[in-house]
Chains A and B, each alone.
Chain A
Amino acid sequence: MNNLIQGKTSDWETVIGLEIHAQVKSNSKLFSSSSTKFGGSPNSQVSLVDAAMPGMLPVINEYCIKQAIKTGLGLEAKINSYSVFDRKNYFYADLPQGYQISQYKNPIVGEGKVTIDFKDGKSKDIRIIRLHLEQDAGKSIHDQNPTKTYVDLNRSGVALMEIVSEPDIRSAEEAGLYINKIRTILKYLDTCDGNMQEGSLRADVNISVRKPGDDYGTRCEIKNLNSIKFIKQSIEYEAKRQINLIEEGGIIEQNTLLFDAQTGKTKPMRSKEEAHDYRYFPDPDLLPLNLEKSFIENIRKEIPELPDERKKKYIKALKLSSYDSSILTSDKDVSNYFDLVLKTHKELKDSAKLVTNWITSELFSKLKKNEITILKSPISADYLGQLVILIITDKISGKIAKDVFEEMFITKKSPNNIVKEKGLAQVTNTNKIKDIVDQVLDLNKEKVRDYKSGKTKLLGFFVGQAMKLSKGKANPKLLNQILINKLNK
C-alpha cells in the first residue's frame, strides 16, 4: 500500500509515532484514595495528598499496577519485574506537587506490539516501545475570567498508562486504526473505558516527513488530541505543512504544537518555547517495585481471549471472512454476544456467516437507532440464535424473519412464540401451496395464456400474487417449483 504524499519536487513519506495516555479504570487514584469518578463538583475528589499539602506522602494503588500489567500482556509486551517511580519536575497550575510521579528509565512494561487490520484483509504490526504508569494532572480553566485561571484538582493524581509506539505508522488511516485497536484491547481487558470525549483516552502525535529511503526528519509533537477525527485531521494538515515548508527551502524546527479544531491547523504552543529540563530522579518517598513471577502469572490467567485470538479462531474454525471477523471482534461485548449465540446453539456452527449478518446488519442498525449498546439488546443471544435456526430449517422465510425480528426487539419475546402467535410459520405443505397456486392461476387465466405464449417474465407476477395470498408464508423455493410445474403443463 502506497502511503506516499506527492509533493512538488518528490514523493514524501510521513513518519508517525503515537503516545497514548489512557486513564486506568480503578476506583481510587494512583497514589491516593480519592475517587476517580468523572464529572464531580470541583475539588470534591481531592485528598490532602492530591493537593500536595506539606508533609503528604504517596501510597501506590495495587489495582493500578495490576491493570498496567494486564494491559502490557494484552499488548504482547514484556512485563518488567523491576521498575522505578521517578519524579518529573516542572511548574504548572494544575500540578500541585511541582512534580509528576511517573516512570523514566525503568517502566513497568517493555517492548510489545499491536496488529492493525486494513479493509482489504492485509495487516501490519505496530511496535510498542513501552508502557508506564504516571499521575494525571488537574484541570485548568482559562476562559471564565479575563485575568484569572481556575484550577480543579479532581483529575490530579488519577492513574494514567502512557503507551509509546515506535514511529512505525505511515498515514492518518494507520494512526486511526492503531488507536482503535489499542482502545479495543483496553476495553476487552477492562483496564480503561476508552472514552475519548471524557478524556479517558488522549494521544500525542509525533510526526515528521522524509523522502523514502532518507533518515528520519525533524519531528514535531502535536499534543492532547482527544478524538480520532482530530488525530487524523492534524496528521494530514501537519504532513502537508512540513512538506510544503521543506519544498520551499525551509527547515523544520522541533516544535510542540496544538491542533485547532476550528481552523483545522496546527500551531506552536507558547509555553513550551524553552525546552523543559525535567530533572528526573527516583522518588525517595517510594521504593522500587519488585514483582514476583507468580503475581504476573496470576494476572495472565485473568485475561479474556483477546481480539486477535478470537479473530483467528473465527476465520479458521468458523470460516468467517477477515472483514467479518474484524467487525465482530472490534467490540468485546459484540464478540461475547456472538460467541454466546453459537455456544447456546451448537448447530449454528456451520451458519456462522448468517448469524454474523443478523448481528452486524439487522441488530446493529436497531441498536444504533435506539442508542443502546449490545449489552442492553432486548434480543438475547439465545433468541437471535433461535431465529436463525427457524430460517435455516425453513420454518420461516428470510422476509418473514425480518418481521419477526422487529417484533422480538419490541416485545423481547422468543421467535418461536411470535411465529406461533401470529401464525407466521412458513407454508411448506405442498398440497396447500398447490391450492394457492391453483387459485392464483385460476384468477389470472389471461396472464397464464400470455406466459404460455412466451412472456416468461410473468413468473414474478404469479410468485408475487401467491405470496400475497399466502400472506408471505409460502416457502419460496417450493412455490417456484410448483408454479413452474403447473405453468408448464
Chain B
Amino acid sequence: MEFTTIKETSEQLKNKKISIKELSEIFIDRINNNLNLNAFIYFNKENIHHQITSHFDKKSLLNGIPLAIKDLFCTKSMPTTAGSKILKDFQPPYESFVTHKLLNEGAIFLGKTNCDEFAMGSSNTTSYFGSVVNPLSLKNKPLVPGGSSGGSAAAVAANLCLGATGTDTGGSIRQPASFCGVVGIKPTYGLCSRWGIVAFASSLDQAGIFTNNVNDSAILMQAIAGHDSHDSTSANIKIPNYFESINADLSGKTVGIPSEYHVPGIPEEINVVWEKAIKVLERGGVKIKNISLPHTKYALPAYYIIAPAEASSNLARYDGVKYGLRSKNNTSLDEMYEMTRSEGFGKEVKRRVLIGTYVLSAGYYDAYYLKAQKVRTLIANDFMNAYKDCDFILTPTTPSAAFPIGDKEDDPIKMYLNDVFTVPASLAGIPGISIPFGKSQQGLPLGIQLLCKHFDEQTLFNAASYLEKNYE
C-alpha cells in the first residue's frame, strides 16, 4: 500500500485496510530515518501515541491523517517556538484556530516543523534550531528548502507526512513549495484565521497548506478556512466545497501573462518552465493575454518597509516579562529588556526589527511607511485592473531553483530578492498557489505560480488541477 495522497489514504483508513496507529507508525519511521533533514523542531513518539489513544473518529476525509504543523501555530499539546530561542520553552495554554479545526476533523499531528525565526527568511537558515535540508539536495551539497516554511515543505517533499500547514507573508509557502517540488497555497488574506499564529506582519500573514497534489490541497484548505470572530480581519464568507467542485476544464478562460515578470538576469530555465505552462494552458482552450502590472518592481521594497514595520511592533511583546526567555542580566527593567531580546533574537530578526523601528520613527514615517502603503494601493489596483481582462494570472514562482545552504548570507538584499514573484500578491491580499512544473538544469524542481482574484480560490484549484493533470 502506498500512502501518498490524503484522498486514497482516507479511503484505506475508512475501509479498515490500515489502522490509524499503523499508519502513524509508518510516518514515525520515515521521520526517524530522515532526521538529517532537520525538518522538525518538535517530534515526540509518545505525544503521537497519546493522540492516537485519546482519538475519537470523525466523519471527515482528514480523520486519522498524519499532518505536520509549522512551529508558528500555537498548539496546546506541543511547545511552540517560532524557530526562536526567545520562545524555546514556550508551552501555549491554547490552540490556534486553524490547528483546532484540523484536530476537530480527526487529524493526527506528527510534530512541529522547523521554520525561519519568526517567519522571517526565504531559506530556513535563520532558525535557532538549525537549518532545514532540502530533501532533493544533491549528495554533499545541502540545499535550502526555501523559507520561511522550509520544514513543512521538506516534510511533504520527503513524504514524512501527508500534508503540512505553513504561513505565507511574502512567499513563505509558495517559494519553498517551488524549491521542494510540492504544492503550496496561500489563500486570500482573511480567508483563514490568524488567531493563535505567532504574528510577523499582521496585514500580510496568512495560514496555508503544503501537499504533494492539488486535490489534497483543496481538501486541507477547505478544512482550515472559515470565519473566526476572534480575528477582526477574518472574512465572514461561506467556504465552498473546493475539492468536490474542482473542474479542470478551463476552455474559454483567459490567463494573464504579466510582462513585468520577465526580469532580466533571471536564469533562462525559469522562463522555459513558464513558457511550457503557457503552452499547456493554450492546448486546454485557455486564451493567453499579455497584461501589465506596472508597479511590480516596487513590491519588494514596499514589502521590506511594511513587513518589518509591523514586525517591530508585533515582536515588542517578547520582553521576558510574561513568557519566554528572560536574560540572566537583569539588574534593571531596561537591561532585562535589552539583554533578553539581544540574546533571544537572531541576526535577521534583529535587522528587521531595527529597520521596522527606523521606518516608523519620528520624521521618517511619511517618507517610508506611508509611502510604502501608498505604493501598496497601486500594486493592489494593478491586479484589480488586470482581472478585468483575465480570469487568473500565471507567473514563475521563484527566480531560481534551490540554492546551497550558506549562499546569499552575506547580503540581506540578495536573500530578499528570492521573493520577487511572490510578494506582489501578498501586498494585494490575493490568493496564490505554486505547483511543480519543471526542473532546473541541475534537475532541481521549479514551480509555476497561479494568482486569482480575492476569494476565488476555486479558480486556483481548477487551473492547478488542469496543469497537474497535463504536466509533461
Contact = CB atoms under 8 A, between A and B. Distances in A.
Q: Are chains A and B touching directly in their complex (CB below 8 angstroms)?
A: yes
A93 B313 contact: no
B202 interface: yes
Contacts of A93: 321, 333
Nearest to A153: B322
Interface in A29-82: 48, 51-60
Contacts of A56: 195-196
Given A59-B232, A279-B361, A54 B369 contact: no
Given A55-B199, A277-B362, A279-B360, A99 B316 contact: yes
A148 to B, nearest CB: 10
* Residue with the highest number of chain B CB atoms closer than 10 Å, among A54, A277, A281: A54
Contacts of B357: 279
Contacts of B322: 51-53, 96
Interface stretch (A282-290, A309-317, A412-420): A282-290
B74 interface: yes
A57 B195 contact: yes
Nearest to A151: B321
Interface of A: prevailing SS: loop
A55 B197 contact: yes
Nearest to A55: B196
B229 interface: yes
A96 B322 CA distance: 8
Given A52-B317, A151-B321, A59 B230 contact: yes
A464 interface: no
Contacts of B365: 279-281
B319 interface: yes
A264 interface: no
Q: Is the interface of B mostly helix, strand, loop or mixed?
A: loop
Q: Number of contact residues on A: which range applies?
A: 20 to 34
Interface string B65-104: 0000000001000001010000100101110100000000
Contacts of B334: 91
B283 to A, nearest CB: 43
B96 A98 contact: no
B231 interface: yes
Contacts of B313: 87, 89, 98-99, 279, 281
Interface string B229-254: 11111000000000000000000000
A197 to B, nearest CB: 28
B203 A284 contact: yes
Contacts of B201: 284
B90 A54 contact: yes
B370 to A, nearest CB: 9
Contacts of B90: 54
Contact of A54 (B74, B232, B321, B337): B74
B96 A55 contact: yes
Contacts of A87: 313
Interface centre among A51, A52, A58, A149 (most CB of B within 10 A): A52
A59 B233 CA distance: 9
Contacts of B203: 284
A23 interface: no
B310 interface: yes
A89 B316 contact: yes
A53 B315 CA distance: 11
A14 interface: no
Contact of A96 (B199, B202, B321, B369): B321
Interface string B291-327: 0000000000000000001101101110101110000
Contacts of A96: 317, 321-322
Interface string A256-289: 0000000000000000000001011100111100
B82 A281 contact: no
B198 interface: yes
Given A54-B198, A281-B369, A287 B337 contact: no
Contacts of A287: 232-233
B316 A91 contact: yes
B230 A57 contact: yes
B186 interface: no
A28 interface: no
A89 B313 CA distance: 7
19 contacts: A48-B93, A54-B82, A54-B87, A55-B96, A56-B195, A57-B195, A57-B233, A91-B334, A98-B313, A98-B315, A99-B316, A279-B357, A279-B362, A281-B309, A284-B202, A284-B203, A286-B232, A286-B233, A287-B233
Interface of A: 48, 51-60, 87, 89, 91, 93, 96-99, 149, 151, 277, 279-281, 284-287
